[in-house]
Structure formats: structure tokens, C-alpha cells
Amino acid sequence: MSDLHAEPESVPINIPRRLDPEDAQLALQKLQSILRRQEVVEALTERQNESNDRSHLLDGLLHRQHENEIRSIINTLHPADIAFILESLPVHERQAVWALVDSAFDADVLLEVDDWARESLIKSMDHQDLVKATGEMDADEIADLAADLPPDVIAEVQQGLTDAERAQLLEAMGYPEDTVGAIMDFDMVRVREDVSLEVVLRYLRRLVELPDHTDQVFVVDRQDRLQGTLGLSTLLVRDPDVQVSEVMLTDFLTLNPLDSDADAAGAFERYDLVSAPVVDDQGRLIGRVTIADVVDVIQEDSQEQALSRAGLQEEDIFAPVMDALRNRAPWLFVNLCTAATASLVASRFEDTVSHIVILAFLMSIVAGIGGNSGNQTMTMIIRALAMGRVTGSNAWQLVRREMTVTFLVGLCGSFVAAGFAWAISGSLAVAAVMMAAMILNMLIGASLGVLIPMLRDRFGKDPAVGSSVLLTFATDSLGFFIFLGLATVFLL
């Protein structure tokens, strides 16, 4: 954290890094080619007589050559690209390449890489390397990694921190996950309101660099209570002799450390923010959230939501089979039970299907269209819930709206379905049953697409987790029941 009385920091060492996603893709292909060649060399060496010294010597030379090639590729990339490459490799190759990454990148790569890949990287590092990498991080960054780091590493890193940094680390580690306090950083510029803009400009010029994503400086009193904000654009264009108190903004957004990070992301989107101050209950400035933090939150929430709808958790795509099985099996088993239930419903109408065989070909259309209609509605509702747009007062209005839209869409689509049923069956009665069943099942799908995520959210559950599985169960079972039930009543 910077203020008017802080000493300028030492100049950091800049290491050239390319910034191009295509470079990362190309580098990954090159590294995979080198790793394949190394595997071939090792396989050939194993076939040779173990006493053949020349074979082992050749293997050692080629191995060192391959390592040098990997170093020359990986260490010219940005840490985010290195993280992407490591995430794209199986665990044993990931650790082998990680060992060849320049130690100057260790801290940045550990912060960039996803949680599921970070665990394997940390396991492959020795104690001192971990302490060195962690010691280069800010307090809020150490807090982000604390759950993955060995306790002895955390303890040793804490000993090297100043009292202020140690207090910041303990504070950041004390906030629950998915809150503003867990993503805020402490690196920001603070000024007093009783100084001129010229004084502020002189102070900023003494700094080696501004904290990332600095679009404003924060105006505080002597007790660190936030008084206002001063935009850099205002600082640059206004008369240098003007006092900060005369041009600072007193109407600004503040966040509380216990606010949801999703709510903070919504505020950034709504007000087009680059940064926002975080204040405690006494109004003291304790940190800030930047657009970079918010982008990470949005990306993580989007990935979690996509996986949750299928009942999955994030996993290493190269993880052992048993780990993947534990992740995927529970909801697949649930899906199996729901499919069996739908089949059981269909089997109760065996006589109907045996008399009118064409129904067996048409009933999957009814179930599928109902599921698709429900998924469309569910996707919109889950997004609305995430944005905070669904409340108890507008819930019934949403249900009615979705039912109306679905009815109109189903009415149009059912004419097409009825025409298809008539074309392959030659029966207007079958077409009419097809039409009615399709509309009814689409209405069921739409209503459940609204109610399932809203009920899960009402009971404090993630509205996306397994919702599509539950919806499919309902639309399949009820779709078969409605279609075959109508056919039994009106066609037999």
C-alpha cells in the first residue's frame, strides 16, 4: 500500500516476455514433439544391454539437448502462457517441464495456474523453492495460495514479512471464500485531502510504478477513513495548485469485505469500474478490488456453472481414472436412475405401443423437445439469479412469462411435429395427440426450468448443480406419460 510518506520501492528486474496466445499454442505443440522424441529415446535405450555405456551416454546427451530445447521455448513466454502449457500436459510431463521453468517465473505461474494443476506443481517443488517463490508474492496473493501450501512453508514465509504485511496476510486469510475480502489486494495509493494536486503528482513521480489497474487514488483522513476518490484523469488536467478536497469525488461505490464477489462483479459490470475501494464497518479503507480480480471471478463462476449443470466439479483432465470416476459417477448414477424411471413409465403402456407401433418412434421427440425447452428457460433463470435479478416479488411473473412464451413457441412447433406425425402414420388422430403432448411437455419443461433453480437457490444451494439432470428426468418421464396416456385414451 502506498501513501504520501512512503519511500520509493526498488526497481524490479524486467524479464522479456511475449504476449501472444498463438505463441502458447505453438510452444505447446513444440514441447509435445520434444517430449515424444524423449520418450522414443528412453524406450530405445531400455532395449539396449544395460552394460552398454555408449547407449547410456547417448541417452544422457540427447536428454540434456531436449531439456535445453524446452528451456529455450518455455522461458520466453508470459507466465500466463506457461500456466496454460502446464495445464495442457499430463501430470508427469507437467512436472518435468515445470522443473525447467526459470525460478524467476515460479511465483507468477503458481498464481496463474488453475487450482487443480497447482497442486501437482507444488508437490514437485522442494521446501526452499516454495519458500522463495511464495516470499516474492504480496500478502493477498499468499492468502490465495495458502490452502495449497504446506503449513511449514506458510510459517517460514510469515517470518520474513513485516508486521504490516503479516497483519494483511492474516486478515486476507480470515475472509471466507467467494467474498470481496478473499479477492481484494492491499496495493493502492492513498493521499490526504488537504494537499494540492502538485504535491500528489510529485509523490506519484517518486514511485517506481503505480499499482496495476490504478485509475484513481483514494483520499483518506488520518484514521484511514475513506473521504473520496481522485481520478488520474482529473489529476492530470486540473490546475496543480487546486486542493484535493476541491476536486475529489465524494459520490463513489464502496465494497464491504464480506460482500459476495459475484455481487462485486455485478457492480463492476453495471458501473463500468476499473477499481473500487473496500472499507470496513467503521469506514476505514482496507483494500481495493480491481477489474483483473473481477474477470477472474466471472471466469471461475462461468466454468463452475457450466460444470455444475452436469453435476461435475472441476478436475484435472489428466487426473487418474479413479479420481475422474469419483467426480462423474454420482450424477451419472442419478441420471441412470432417472432414465430407468422414464423407461418404467413407458413400459406401463406396452399394450398401447404394441397396437400403434409408430408411437415408439414419436415419443422420443416429445421428450426431447420438452427437455430443450426447459433447458432454454433454465439457462436464462440461472443467469438472472447470478445477476441478482430474480426476487420473491417477481418470481411468479417470470413463471407466467415463460409459460406464455413456451406456449406460443410450442404451438408453432407442434404444427410442424403434427405434420411430421401425420406424414409417417397417415393418421390425423396420431398427429393431434402428438401436437397436444408436445405443447403440454414443453410447458412442463418451462415451468420446471424456472422452479428448479429458484427452489435450489431458495434453500441455499447452487442453482446450477445437477439442474439439467433433474429437468431431463421430469421431461422424459412426464413426456412419455402424457404422450402414451393421451394415445391410450384417444387412439385405442
Cell 501513501, residue located? 3
Query: In this structure, is residue 434 part of a structural domain?
Result: yes
Is the pTM above the cut of 0.85?
Answer: no
pLDDT digits (tens, 9 = 90+) for 462-480: 777 767 777 888 888 888 8
Alpha helix segments (H runs only) across 314-466: 321-347, 350-355, 358-386, 395-425, 428-458
Q: Are 178 and 260 in contact (CB under 8 A)?
A: yes
Q: List, in order, residues 6 or more apart from 202 with CB less than 8 Å away.
A: none
Query: In this structure, is residue 175 part of a structural domain?
Result: no
- Are residues 335 and 250 both part of a single domain? no
Phi first, then psi, for residue 217 (nearest 5°) are -110, 155
CA distance 263 to 388: 8
- Are residues 219 and 282 both part of a single domain? yes
**Domain extent for 233:** 190-308
Cα 57 to Cα 49, 62, 189, 192, distances in angstroms: 13, 9, 58, 68
- Are residues 481 and 350 both part of a single domain? yes
Q: What is the CATH number of the domain that holds 88?
A: 1.10.220
- The pLDDT, as a whole number, for residue 194 is 93
Mean pLDDT in residue range 240-256 = 94
Band (13; pLDDT cuts 50, 70, 90): very low
- The pLDDT, as a whole number, for residue 273 is 93
Q: What is the CATH number of the domain that holds 379?
A: 1.10.357.20
Asked which of 235-239, 277-281, 328-332, 418-422 is least confident by mean pLDDT, the reply is 328-332
- Are residues 293 and 336 both part of a single domain? no
pLDDT digits (tens, 9 = 90+) for 406-447: 889 888 888 898 999 899 888 899 899 999 999 999 999 888
- Are residues 250 and 297 both part of a single domain? yes
- Are residues 303 and 355 both part of a single domain? no
- Are residues 119 and 203 both part of a single domain? no
Q: List, in order, residues 6 or more apart from 357 with CB less than 8 Å away.
A: none
Query: In this structure, is residue 116 part of a structural domain?
Result: yes
pLDDT digits (tens, 9 = 90+) for 184-226: 999 999 999 999 999 999 999 999 889 999 999 999 999 999 9
Percent of the chain at pLDDT > 90 equals: 30
How crowded is the C-beta side of 125, counted as CA atoms within 13 Å? 25
Q: Left (φ > 0), alpha (ψ -120 to 50) or beta: where does 126 sit?
A: beta
Among residues 103, 125, 147, the one where a domain terminates is 125
- The pLDDT, as a whole number, for residue 6 is 42
- Are residues 41 and 115 both part of a single domain? yes
Q: List, in order, residues 6 or more apart from 28 with CB less than 8 Å away.
A: 84, 85, 88
How crowded is the C-beta side of 476, counted as CA atoms within 13 Å? 18
Band (143; pLDDT cuts 50, 70, 90): confident
- Are residues 283 and 343 both part of a single domain? no
Sheet architecture: strand order including 216-220: 190-191, 216-220, 226-231
- The pLDDT, as a whole number, for residue 233 is 92
CA distance 262 to 3: 30
Q: Are 481 and 345 in contact (CB under 8 A)?
A: yes
Among residues 286, 308, 330, the one where a domain terminates is 308
- The pLDDT, as a whole number, for residue 21 is 63
Cell 482529473, residue located? 234
Strands 216-220 and 190-191: parallel
- The pLDDT, as a whole number, for residue 46 is 66
Q: List, in order, residues 6 or more apart from 55 with CB less than 8 Å away.
A: 45, 48, 49
Query: In this structure, is residue 132 part of a structural domain?
Result: no
Q: Are 483 and 433 in contact (CB under 8 A)?
A: yes
- The pLDDT, as a whole number, for residue 108 is 92
- The pLDDT, as a whole number, for residue 339 is 74
Q: Which amino acid is at 413?
A: G
- Are residues 258 and 346 both part of a single domain? no
For 239, the 3-state DSSP assignment is coil
Query: In this structure, is residue 140 part of a structural domain?
Result: no
Asked which of 196-205, 327-336, 372-381 is least confident by mean pLDDT, the reply is 327-336
Helix axes 428-458, 467-491, angle to 10 degrees: 150
- Are residues 450 and 426 both part of a single domain? yes
Query: Does 4 or 423 have the greater pLDDT score?
Result: 423
- The pLDDT, as a whole number, for residue 12 is 39
Query: In this structure, is residue 183 part of a structural domain?
Result: no
- The pLDDT, as a whole number, for residue 318 is 66
Question: Is 319's pLDDT higher than 70?
Answer: no
- Are residues 302 and 330 both part of a single domain? no
CA distance 152 to 140: 18
Mean pLDDT in residue range 354-362 = 83
For 170, the 3-state DSSP assignment is helix
Among residues 280, 308, 336, the one where a domain terminates is 308
Q: Which three cell numbers stand for residue 382?
A: 440461472
Q: Are 80 and 112 in contact (CB under 8 A)?
A: yes
Q: Which three cell numbers stand for residue 344?
A: 418404467
Instruction: Give me the number of domains the chain comprises.
Output: 3
pLDDT digits (tens, 9 = 90+) for 72-130: 999 999 999 999 999 888 888 898 899 999 989 999 999 999 888 888 899 889 889 99
CA distance 367 to 371: 6
Query: In this structure, is residue 266 part of a structural domain?
Result: yes
Query: In this structure, is residue 237 part of a structural domain?
Result: yes
Q: List, in order, residues 6 or more apart from 225 with CB less than 8 Å away.
A: 282, 283, 284, 285
Q: What is the CATH number of the domain that holds 214?
A: 3.10.580.10
CA distance 122 to 129: 10
DSSP state of 243: B
